[in-house]
Amino acid sequence: MGNFPDITTRIGDYVASLVDFLDSTFDVFFSFITFISSRTINGIEDVLVWMPWWSFILIVFLLGWYFKSILSGGIYGFFIFLIGTFGLWTDMMTTIAIIVTAVIICLVLGIPLGVWMAFSKGFSNVMRPLLDAMQTMPSFVYLIPAIFFFGLGNVSAIFATLIYALPPVIRLTELAIRGVDKEVIESAQSFGSSRFQMLKKVQLPQALPTIMAGVNQTTMMALAMVVIASMVGAQGLGEQVLVAINRIDISLGFEAGISIVFLAVIIDRITNGVADKFQKHRGER
């Protein structure tokens, strides 16, 4: 009595057909993206691995000291040193390379899209449902098209991370531009500023602290994807967590997991410190 009627829909088949069409039609484009992304990740990783271990720790210490305090810098440097003692130094560098590449792409795409949404109500209305879907869809769903288009590896991880981490910087950029004081905009217009001049010299500087908050959120969400991305062949700390789960290796799981936490704390505090510096500098002006 309680059975559902014998009515079926196969929306998934249409989606699969669309994905097949995109893969066959834009095969050269996806191959180009794979090549560029792979070279970028490998280049960043090679530089990080080439650096002496103490110099990387020193850089982290100096960043923490400059943007927060000397105590914070010392703690961040100790965290990095501790990850090295776990035997996860190379994995940490791979994870950082993936995150840096993903965040750079997110910023290159996200900030212009956010500015466009702030200036175009119609475009904003189109983008908002897409951003809602990107943020609410389970993260594992992103892995399916990533594998199909780019195969297993770090490039698929970046693709999945982009979908997950891109919305915050777009939304906060739009919010920041729209939130600029109207009196300031009217004052700039009275001096004959063009729309580009007003964006460059008035709106972006005023909106920068909020945009930096978006950068922080995007970076943290990219880091949150490292374990999920390991399921499509991404290397790094996330891969070690996945290995530990498969082996039920509590020791390796704890060390890889706490290493991700250490990176999250360092990245969060430093990016917040960058935002605070911008805010303070704008206040002094």
Task: Per residue of the chain (285 residues), give pLDDT as tens.
Answer: 567 777 777 787 887 788 788 777 877 877 877 777 778 877 888 888 888 989 999 999 999 998 888 998 999 999 999 999 998 998 999 888 888 888 888 888 888 898 888 888 888 898 888 888 888 887 777 777 777 777 777 788 888 888 888 888 898 888 888 887 777 777 777 777 677 777 777 777 777 878 888 888 888 888 888 778 887 777 888 888 888 988 888 898 899 999 989 998 898 888 888 777 766 666 555
d(CA 216, CA 208): 12
Write down the pLDDT at residue 182.
77
For 141-178, the DSSP string reads HHHHHHHHHH-SSHHHHHHHHHHHHHHHHHHHHHHHHH
DSSP string covering 217-261: HHHHHHHHTHHHHGGGT--SHHHHHHHHHHHT-HHHHHHHHHHHH
Per-residue pLDDT, 283: 58
In terms of phi and psi (left: phi > 0; alpha: psi -120 to 50; beta: otherwise), the region of 151 is left
207 burial class (0-12, 13-18, 19+ CB within 10 angstroms)?
A: buried
